[in-house]
């Protein structure tokens, strides 16, 4: 059984990636996760790859204070743009929700989590504007070059949560 923090949460911060690494820039979340996991800044952070399982995302929110979701997000920006925003702003920021292709949108996922009591105190989204979403192409140069920016933003975000 995991340790429970004084506020009743078993985990203070989870970083969850969403996307398909076989679908071009949709795999940026996994690439960021793999880079971050090798850094000492993140040695005590729980990373989860939810792939394209929106409903599975809900289960990972349970008993967690803060969740950061990393995903390729069509926001109408230049490819490789990295933005961090509250989940409440997601419908205003994300122009196309790639998860909805798999049957349920990110907004619907959040609403379900709220209704069943799994919604964390804070959900933050890191969106990376994709250049191409095509099968078996790997990351575009613009998105691959955005990974260091995303890592810097992750370090800044993690330091505001202070999971120690």
CATH number of the domain residue 88 falls in: 3.40.50.1450
pLDDT in tens, 66-82: 999 999 988 889 999 99
Range 84-98 average pLDDT: 66
Residue 3 lies in a domain: no
Q: Please state, in angstroms and rounded to a whole number, the distance separating the CA atoms of residues 17 and 6.
A: 27
Closest-CA residue to 106 (of 69, 143, 75): 69
The boundaries of the domain holding residue 61 are: 12-161
Residue 7 lies in a domain: no
Is pLDDT of 97 > 60? no
pLDDT at residue 127, rounded to an integer: 92
Backbone phi, then psi, for 20, in 5-degree steps? -125, 110
Range 127-141 average pLDDT: 92
What angle (nearest 5°) sits at the alpha carbon of residue 45, between those of residues 11 and 94?
90
Residue 90 lies in a domain: yes
Range 48-54 average pLDDT: 84
Closest-CA residue to 84 (of 14, 131, 162, 149): 149
pLDDT in tens, 53-62: 777 888 888 8
Residue 57 lies in a domain: yes
Residue 2 lies in a domain: no
Residue 150 lies in a domain: yes
Residue 103 lies in a domain: yes
| Tally of structural domains, the chain | 1
> pTM, whole model, 2 decimals?
0.84
Range 125-146 average pLDDT: 93
Residue 1 lies in a domain: no
């Amino acid at each position: 059984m995991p340790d429970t923090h004084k506020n009743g949460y078993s985990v203070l911060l989870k970083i969850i990636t969403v996307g398909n690494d076989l679908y071009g820039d949709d795999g940026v979340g996994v690439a960021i996760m793999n880079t971050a996991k090798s850094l000492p800044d993140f040695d005590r952070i729980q990373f989860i790859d939810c792939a394209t399982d929106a409903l599975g995302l809900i289960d990972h929110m349970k008993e967690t204070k803060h969740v950061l979701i990393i995903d390729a997000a069509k926001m109408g920006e230049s490819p490789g743009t990295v933005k961090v925003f509250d989940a409440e702003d997601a419908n205003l920021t994300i122009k196309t929700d790639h998860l909805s292709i798999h049957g349920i949108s990110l907004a619907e996922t959040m609403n379900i989590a709220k209704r069943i009591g799994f919604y964390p105190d804070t959900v933050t989204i890191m969106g990376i504007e994709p250049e191409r979403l095509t099968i078996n192409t790997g990351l575009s140069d613009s998105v691959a070059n955005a990974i260091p920016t995303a890592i810097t933003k992750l370090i800044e975000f993690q330091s505001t949560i202070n999971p120690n």
